[in-house]
Structure 1
Amino acid sequence: MDLEKPPAQQPPDGCLVVAIRVPVRIVMLVVVLPVRMAWDALVVAGRFLDDAVLRPVGRGLLWFGRAVFVWPFVALWRWVLVPAGRALAWLGHVLVAVPCGWLYRYVLTPIGHAIAWVGRGIAAGLAWVYARVLTPVGHGIMWLLKGLGAVLAAGGVGVAWLVRYLLVVPATWLYEWLLAPVGRALVWCVNGLVWAVRMIVTGIGTALYWTCRILFVLPALALWRWLLVPVGHALAVVGREIGAALGHAWRVAGHISRAVGRFLATLFRWIFVEPVRWAYARVLTPVGHAVRDAVLRPVGEALRAAGRATRQALASARDSARQARADFRRMLFGEPRQPRATVRREPAAADTRTLGSSTTALTKD
C-alpha cells in the first residue's frame, strides 16, 4: 500500500507564461548574480571577523568587565556587606528587639489588661443604664406616638373621602369623556401624516437608488469585471513569474558563487598556504631542530650546570653560617643541656614481647 500522497497536478501553463518566464529568469540571473556574490563575500568576511576579532575581543571585554565590575562587587558583598549586615542584625536584635519585647511583655501588656478591665466595667455600666433607664423611657415614648398616630389616622380617613369625591371623580370623568377622544383624534392625524411622509421619502429613496445604481454601480461593476480583473490576473502572473525567477536566480547565483569561492579558496591555498606550509615543513623545521640541537640545548645544559653549582655554593654557605652561629652560641652560653634518658616500661618497637623472653611478668626472674 502506497502511503505517500501523489503530487498535486498543477494546471499546464499557457504560452504567454512560458514566453515571459525564460527572459525574466535570464534578466533576474544577470541582476541577482553580483548581489549574491557580494552577499556571500560579506558572509565569509563576517564569519572570519567574528571568529578572529569579535569573539576574542568579546571574551577579553567580558573578562575585563568581570574583573572591574563583578569581582569587586562580589568581594564587597561577601567580605564587607554581609559581615556588616550580620553585625547590624545582631546589634538590632540586642538593642531594639530585646528591649521592645521586654517593654511589650512587662509594661504594655499589663497596661492593656488594665485598660481592658476598665473598658469592661464601663460597658457593664452602660448596659445597665440602657436596660434600666433608656428602655422604659423609649417604651413610653412609643406608646405616646402610637396614640398620636391613631388620632391622625382617624382624621386622615375623612380627608381621603373629601379628596376622592371633590378631586378624583371629576378628574376621571374629564379624562374619559373629553381628553381621551381628543387624544385619539390627534394620534390618528399624526399617523396619517407619518404614513404620507414615509411614502414620499420611500419614493424619493427608490428613485435615488436606481439613479445611483445606473450612474455609478453598474459602470463600476463593468469596469471591475471587464478591465481591472483581467489586468490584475496579468499582473499576478507577471509578479508570480518574477518571484519564481528571483528565487531561481538566487539559487543558481548561490551555486555559481559557491563554485567561484571554492576556486578562489583553492587558488589561495596553492598560491599562499601550500608554499608557506612547504617552507615551514622543509626549511623552518630543520633549521629550528638544528638551532635547538646545536645552540639551545648546550646553552640550556650550561645554564642548568651553572644553576646546580650556584645552588651547591649557596647550600655550603648556609651550612657554614649555621655552623658559625652554633659555635658562637656554644662559646657564649656553653654546651646545651642534654635531655635525661627515661626508663621505658614498655619495650621498644624492635624488641617486642615474646613468650620465650624474660620481659613478661610470668617468665621474669
Structure 2
Amino acid sequence: MSEKLDRLDKLPLRRDLVGLEPYGAPQIDAEVLLNVNENTHGVPLEVREAIAEAVQEAIQGLNRYPDREFTTLRTLLAGYLGHSLTPNHIWAANGSNEVLQQILQAFGGPGRTALGFPPTYSMYPLLASATNTEYVSGERSDHFSLTARDAAEQVAVLAPNVVFLCSPNNPTGTALGLDVVEAVYSAGESSRAIVIVDEAYAEFAKEGTPSALSLLPGRERLIVSRTMSKAFALAGARVGYLAASPEVTDALRLVRLPYHLSAITQATANAALQHPAILLANVEDIKCQRDRIVEGLRDLGLRPEESDSNFVFFGGVRNTSRVWQGLLAAGILIRDVGIPGYLRVTAGTAEETERFLTELGRLVQDESYLKS
C-alpha cells in the first residue's frame, strides 16, 4: 500500500485525501464467507428467472437512457414499505452508500457537521469526508447502548446538521427504540438537523421491533434509509433507497447525476420486488441461524450481543487477530471490526453455522483465546 501512496504523491491530490487508504473489507478467497453481512442464502430460482426475463427485456432498449425518475421502482418500493407512503416519498440510488452520500451532498458540505455514535457503520465518517462535511463522534453508554436522553443531550450540545442513527446498528446488531429517534429529532430542531435512521437490516429485526417509518408523518427532516442488498439478496445489484418527505426527495434531485440508475439496475430491482414473500422466507431462516449462533457462542463461554440483524457481534476473546486467523486457516472468513475483544460473524446457512461453531469451539478450548 505504501508504494501506491508514494505514486499518489506525484499527483495534486486533495489535501484531505493525502495518506488515506481505500475503504473495504478484506477480499479473501475462503470456503465460508461470513464477513460482510451478505445474504448467505442467495436469490431463489423463481426470482432469478424473473430478473433474467426483465433484464432481457431491458437490454432491447439499452440504446436509450433509462427512466431518470425510476418511476416504477419508486412505486414498487412505496408499496413494499407501506405506511401510506407514495412514490413521491421514495428515492433510490446505487446502494445505500450512494443514498447517504447524496444526502450529505444536499445537506452537509463545508462548514456543516454530521454526528454519528460509534461503534457504528464505518462508512459514515468516510462519506462525510468525501463531501467535505465535518464528522463528529458521539458517545454510547456501557455495552454500546444509546438512550434517548444521552443521544438528545449530545445533539442539543453539538448542534449537528446531520445525525446518523443506525438501527439495527452495525457492528453491534442492536435496534434503537423509537424514543431515541423522537428525542434526537426534537433536540435537532434548533439546528434544523436532518436525522437519518439507517435501517439496512430492518427486515432481520426481532418480531415486534418498530420501524422509524412510522415516525415520518409530520417530520420533514427525518429520513429512513434501506437497502435491497441484505434481505433481498441483491448486494451485487447495488440498490439502496430511502423514505422521507417529498421535500427531501426534491432536494436530492439537485445533487444526483442524471440517469444515475441504469436500466439494468431498475429492471433487476423491479423484478425482485414482484416476489417479496419468496425472498423474505429466506430472511426467516437466516434469523433462525443468527439465534442459533447466539446460543452457540454462549455455550462456548463467549459474550454475544443480542442481535436484530443478520450478524452477531460477540466479545470475550483475548486475541481477536489470533481467533480470526485460526478461523481463516479453517476456511472461514469473519470480520475483525477493530474493537478489542470483539469479532463479528454473519449468519450463514445451517451448514455454515455448524462449521463456524465447530471450528470456533475447537479454537476456544485453548483458554488463551478467551479474555480473562
* TM-score bracket for this pair, using the shorter chain length: under 0.3
- Higher relative contact order at CA 8 Å, sep ≥6: structure 1 or structure 2? 1
So what's the TM-score if we normalise by structure 1? 0.15
Instruction: Name the structure with the higher strand share.
Output: 2
Q: Select the structure of larger CA radius of gyration.
A: 1
Instruction: Name the structure with the higher helix share.
Output: 1
